[in-house]
Structure 1
Amino acid sequence: MLEHRLAKLAAFATFLLLVIGGTVNPTGSSLACPEPTLVCHGQLFPPMVGGVFYEHGHRLAAMTVGLLQIALTVMLRLRRPELRGLGWLLLGGVIAQGALGAITVQYKLPWFVSTGHLLLGMSYFAALIYTAFRTRPAPSVVELDRHARLGQELGGARRWIAIACVAVFVQLLLGALVRHLGAAMVCLGMPSCTRGGDWWPEAWIQDLHMIHRGFGVVVGLVTTVAAIQVLRHSRSWPALRLLAMLAPVLVAAQIALGIFTVLTLRAVPLA
């Protein structure tokens, strides 16, 4: 169905937007374009050099996502009336995200606005994945039977999945605070904060960094438990079992990247 393909395309474009957006702050390009609009130094398509390449590239990618979202909202309104509200919610999310980006530039990177910008972007991406799932072609009788059996099989695993989702969101919040409050390189020891073995120095910003590290371990444990629960109970859905096996691997890779960032002092290109 067209709306399903459009939702998947919007989700893919948003994933690319998140990747591009992740290069803006670490490369020091957040204010490379002084205008809080789609233009950069008075041009819609300025020379893409230096920080402009990252910042204006991010804006152009965001404009593309916005256009896709407008089309998706229209399609949901016309073809899937039961999802009309979801379409308007997604469109509102894109508008709010653009407004936060503009405020970030207008007021020179206030940490609380930048943090909200990151969290809303991740939430919008997750909502698009949900939309793609909801707009999939109508399942066959066999698939409906499998879905019913899966619902019965999962049982308590659903609770662990929900806990893992909340834990990941909290870790995103902590990570955003670490980045936008300048705490990425305040602890250069591993695993302790300082190279002298001090775990909890007196500076609050170092405490924030260590809380982010510690909660990363919590996320890893919770995700692993959730994955085990899904693997034990979801015998009717192989794709879900694959995702369950992939989740702890991705968390481990994220932790490894964080460790590598500290050990190599490479916050700008990798964080």
Structure 2
Amino acid sequence: MAHRLALSTLAATCVLILLGGLVTNTGAALAVPDWPSTFGYNMVLFPWSRMVGGILYEHSHRLMGALVGLLTLALAGALWRAGGRLRRLGLVAVAVVLAQGVLGGLRVVLLEDTLAIIHGSLAQAFFALLAAIALLTAPRGRVAGAPVEPALKGLVVVATALLYAQIVFGALLTHAGRIDLHLAGAVLVFAMVPIVAARLRRTGDAVAAPVSRLLLVLLGVQLLLGVGSFLARFSSLWIPGEQITVTLLPVAHRLVGSLILGAIVVLAVRVSTAETDPQPIDRARRSHAASISGHTGSEPASRTPLQRSHAASLSGHPGPAPTSRTPLQQTRVDRAPRSHAASISGHPESAPTSRTPLQQTHAASISGHPGSEPPARHSLP
């Protein structure tokens, strides 16, 4: 029940944003000069026969706003029974929709462009809030998401904040002509959000993957609409459809912007409930510990004895002796350190047992340290 109400309220809000764009871009914002009444009539009882021109857009916008308010109250009632976080979100939705209605009315009465900027920006935030509620009340949204790296979670939050800032910059462009901020924001959005969406798509999550694909499509459409809206407003180029196209391009641009914001908020909520992927952290910790200790772990099994010896000489930590040596090779290796030490100290440990008496005498005369005396010679008779 709550999920269906959330989807209905979300769809009605989408129509409300569309009508709000028509009101702004047709200049019908002040077609009805009073509020909360309409030319002295109760808003609901205003004659349909008089809804022509700008009055049609403005009064339709008011009626749709009233419908969204009623749906939001019903949604809050359904969420109240759910309790917990959903109950709080329902109360926030009611507060936002009431504030939005008051801001819209004060915009008509006070004729302040600042109120129009806040009114337009808050409408997008309300739409994103409803998108989050729709996700949390969906059966699939209650299932834990696929593990996500902590860095990616942070990137999603940054992308969400960046997209909402771009929404505000769009409102400044509409009501104050600040094109510079909106263009700079567009560059940042298209530099970051597609990367975040592509990484979330590869997680294979039941919610994040399809929403990320939709987000990438919406970004492409938004880029085309943005270029068209810019040319329609700030250039003298001929636009097919002329006035109708000039009016509808920014309206569609604003509506797709709402959908993009709703999609990124859904992704942010989804990854916030997903588990943190521990594998990148463990790999980073092991690599950091190995770099500090200087021990890179066990030798690769595929290295030859010569490769292991070369790696050990570079690292300063020789590994175990190769096990594939022949007895003759092992004898030579064992004898080499003793011979080297003896050559340094000048005291050979012992003469090789295989030397003849003549070889032993010759070696002793060279080193200056005679070993055992050669056997006594027998004189000839």
Query: Which residues of structure 1 form unaligned runs of 5+?
Result: 184-207
The equivalent residue for 1:64 is 67
Kept in 2, the 8 Å contact 1:35–1:105? The answer is yes
Deviation, structure 1 residue 213: 1.3
Q: Choose which of 40, 43, 55 in structure 2 pairs with 1:42.
A: 40
Matched, 1:211 2:181: yes
Describe how 1:21-36 pairs up with structure 2 within 5 A.
21-36=20-35
Structure number with greater CO (CA < 8 Å, separation at least 6) is 1
Separation in 2, partners of 1:87, 1:13: 16
Q: Choose which of 222, 226, 229 in structure 2 pairs with 1:254.
A: 222
Separation in 1, partners of 2:222, 2:205: 30
Describe how 1:103-252 pairs up with structure 2 within 5 A.
103-108=106-111, 110-137=112-139, 144=143, 147-148=144-145, 150=146, 152-181=147-176, 183=177, 208-232=178-202, 234-237=203-206, 239-252=207-220
Q: Which runs of 4+ in 1 moved over 4 A?
A: none
Separation in 2, partners of 1:135, 1:263: 41
Deviation, structure 1 residue 155: 3.9
Deviation, structure 1 residue 35: 1.0
Q: Over residues 191-225 of structure 1, what are the superposed CA-to-partner deviations in whole Å (9 max), with x where a residue is unaligned?
A: xxxxxxxxxxxxxxxxx312311221210111111
Deviation, structure 1 residue 138: 8.0
Separation in 2, partners of 1:259, 1:138: 36
Deviation, structure 1 residue 270: 2.7
Deviation, structure 1 residue 42: 2.2
Separation in 2, partners of 1:138, 1:160: 23
Matched, 1:51 2:50: no
Separation in 1, partners of 2:184, 2:228: 16
Kept in 2, the 8 Å contact 1:14–1:125? The answer is yes
SS, match of residue 71 in structure 2: helix
Separation in 1, partners of 2:39, 2:169: 33
The equivalent residue for 2:91 is 88
Q: Which residue identity lines up with residue 254 of structure 1 in the other structure? A: Q
The equivalent residue for 1:270 is 249
Residues 1:137 and 1:255: Cα distance change in structure 2 (over 3 Å): closer
SS, match of residue 32 in structure 1: coil
Query: Which residues of structure 2 form unaligned runs of 5+?
Result: 234-242, 251-381
Residues 1:135 and 1:125: Cα distance change in structure 2 (over 3 Å): same
The equivalent residue for 1:192 is none
The equivalent residue for 1:11 is 10
Separation in 1, partners of 2:156, 2:194: 10
Deviation, structure 1 residue 259: 1.6
The equivalent residue for 1:203 is none
SS, match of residue 13 in structure 1: helix
Deviation, structure 1 residue 154: 4.7
Separation in 1, partners of 2:16, 2:6: 15
The equivalent residue for 1:190 is none
The equivalent residue for 1:97 is 100
Residues 1:236 and 1:94: Cα distance change in structure 2 (over 3 Å): closer
Q: In percent, how many aligned pairs have the same letter?
A: 32
Q: Over residues 63-107 of structure 1, what are the superposed CA-to-partner deviations in whole Å (9 max), with x where a residue is unaligned?
A: 000111111122222x21222222111111111000100110001
